[in-house]
Amino acid sequence: MSSNDVLGRTEGGDLRLVGLTKRYGSFTAVDDLSLTIPQGSFFALLGASGCGKTTTLRMISGLEDPTIGQIFLGEQEVTDLKPFRRPVNTVFQNYALFPHLDIFENVAFGLRRRGVKDVKKAVTDMLDLVELGHLAKRKPTQLSGGQQQRIALARALINQPQVLLLDEPLGALDLKLRRQMQIELKRIQTEVGLTFVHVTHDQEEAMTMADTIAVMNHGRIEQLGSPADLYENPNTTFVANFLGQSNLIPASVESEKDGVVTVSAHGQQLKLDAKRCRSTSGKIILGVRPEKVQVATDRGEVPAGFNALSGGKVVDTSFIGVSTQYLVQMPSGEEISVFEQNTGRTIQRPGAEVVVYWDPSQGFGLEGTQDIEAGAEADEEAAA
């Protein structure tokens, strides 16, 4: 075996992070992170900048050493292995294509370093996979951003790594191209069956592509789950605000009976499904997504059993086309966001007095002592 030999691939190898911590002096970038990513899944690490997601990725690739903790690929521990000995490849944020080599040589690079003699077929096939076979002789600077991104992907994929790491690879692309690439990446991942770990701050991107998302905040995982779980049933205000938007209403629990929790907010009674509540006594934060809420001019229009808050006044109406976005101000001063789909219902003008209502099973209850604004700013920054 040459000294450059890469760790032999083991079948069915899950990627396991155990107690991973990274400290820079007094600053902790990643805080005791433990995680198992099953082989063949599309996993997303989602969070605002500075949350530790890129640091985690670099530790998996070997470009950073963890301060504490271990990394396993299947049964084998890879924590001490240098990057060139791990069967892990990275698609870098700025692509990092070698400017002194043409496209063919860039894609062939990893194969050549591992001693593969005849690379022609593999490279040609891979270039066909990303539909850029005709650019094989060009230099990276002669390609557009989207093309460079696909070559960076091809260069990593061709080595058939056990885990493919993607560090915000779509960040530099314009919206249309990004959407296209999101579908492409997902298609390729399903076709090739490798484990993809995708780092991004774009929550829509994560939700579209990933099977499982880990939302990170200040070096820790806030919540781990499928996109639907995270969206419908967030654990914390951070997750509720970071993924999409939420109305978060402070309330206090009055009673719990038969799986229904009754809370009161602003002197009105509201109901929650006990299974979707993180706490069932004392202070609670009632959350409901704006698209689940509707407005009515009369209390009588509210279907039976639905939660309703009366006394609201519309302070802002934005007609987006697909939907109308209302800001409804309650007597207490609190503002509720409502996204009403454009089904032809009358659009309420600012000043109108309305009742907001929603299906109680669509709400969720969070621990009452959390910061209501957590994650909201981070989301705005990320979206900018």
Partner 1 sequence: MTTLTEAPAPVEQRGKERKPRRNLTPWMLLLPGLLWLTVFFLVPILTSVSASVQTGNYDDGFKLTWHFANYRDALLNFGPQYWHSLLFSVITTVFCLALAYPVAYFIAFKGGKWKTLLMALVIVPSFTSFLIRTIAWKTILADNGSVVHVLNDLHLLKITTALGWTVGNHVLASPAAVVCGMVYNFLPFTILPLYTSLEKIDPRLHEAGADLYCGPFQTWRRVTLPLSMPGVIGGTLLTFIPAVGDYINAQLLGNPNTTVVGQRIEDLFLRQSNGYPVGSAMSVVMMVGTLVIVMTYIWRAGTEDLL
Partner 2 sequence: MATQTISAPATGGDAPLKVRRRSPLAWAKSHVLLVVTVLVFVFMLLPNAVILWMSFNSPDGKFNYTWHKFSLDAWKNPCSNSTMCHSIGLSLEIGVVATIIATILGTMIAFAMVRHRFKMRSGINALLFLPMAAPEVVMGATLAALFFNTIGPGAMGFWTITIAHVMFCISYVVVTVKSRLAGMDPTLERAAQDLYATPTQTFMKVTLPLVAPGIGAAALLAFAISIDDYIITVFTAGNSETFPMYIFGSVQRAYPAQIDVIGSLMLLGTMSVIAVSQILNQMRTSRKK
- Which chain residues interact with partner 1 by CB under 8 A? 3-4, 6, 61-63, 82-85, 88-90, 92, 94, 96-100, 109-110, 113-114, 155-156, 159
Given the complex with partner 2, which of 223 and 324 has the nearer CB atom?
223
Query: For residues 327 and 348, what is the distance between their CA atoms, to the nearest angstrom?
Result: 11
* Residue (34 or 297) nearer to partner 2, CB: 34
Stretch that binds partner 2, among 14-22, 152-160, 183-191, 347-355 (CB under 8 A): 14-22
* Stretch 278-317: interaction string toward partner 2, x if CB under 8 A: ----------------------------------------
Q: Of residues 6, 29, 30, 37, which one binds partner 2 by CB under 8 A? A: 37
Residue 136 or residue 327: which is nearer to partner 1 going by CB? 136
Q: Using the rule CB under 8 A, which residue among 70, 160, 262, 325 binds partner 2?
A: 70
Applying CB under 8 A, among 4, 94, 226, 332 the residue interacting with partner 2 is 226
Min dist CB 70 to partner 2, Å, is: 7
What would you report as the CA-atom Rg of the chain, rounded to the nearest whole angstrom? 25
To the nearest whole angstrom, how small is the minimum distance from the Cβ of residue 290 to partner 1? 40
Stretch that binds partner 2, among 61-69, 260-268, 272-280, 299-307 (CB under 8 A): 61-69
Sequence-distant (6+) residues with CB within 8 A of 228 are none
191: which residues sit within 8 A by CB, 6+ positions away?
none
Residues 40, 137: Cα–Cα separation, whole Å: 33
How many CA within 13 A on the CB side of residue 157? 24
Q: How far is the CB of 153 from partner 1 (least distance, A)?
A: 13
By beta-carbon proximity to partner 2, the closer residue of 228 and 320 is: 228
Distance of alpha carbon 149 from alpha carbon 151, whole angstroms = 5
Alpha-carbon span 362 to 360, nearest angstrom = 5
Nearest distance, CB of residue 89 and partner 1, angstroms:
6
DSSP collapsed to 3 states, 237-303: HHHHHHCCCCEEEEEEEEEEECCEEEEEECCEEEEEEHHHECCCCCEEEEEECHHHCEEECCHHHCC
- Given partner 2, partner 1, none, residue 155, with its beta carbon under 5 to 8 Å by kind, binds partner 1
**Cβ proximity of 332 and 266 under 8 Å:** yes
| Single-letter amino acid code for the residue at 342 | N
Distant-in-sequence, close-in-space partners of 33: CB < 8 Å, separation ≥ 6: 17, 19, 20, 21, 52, 56, 69, 219, 220, 221
Task: Kindly state the smallest distance separating residue 362's Cβ from partner 2, in Å.
Answer: 19
Interface residue list for partner 2 (CB under 8 A): 16, 18-19, 34-38, 41, 65-70, 72, 79-80, 211-212, 221, 224-226, 229
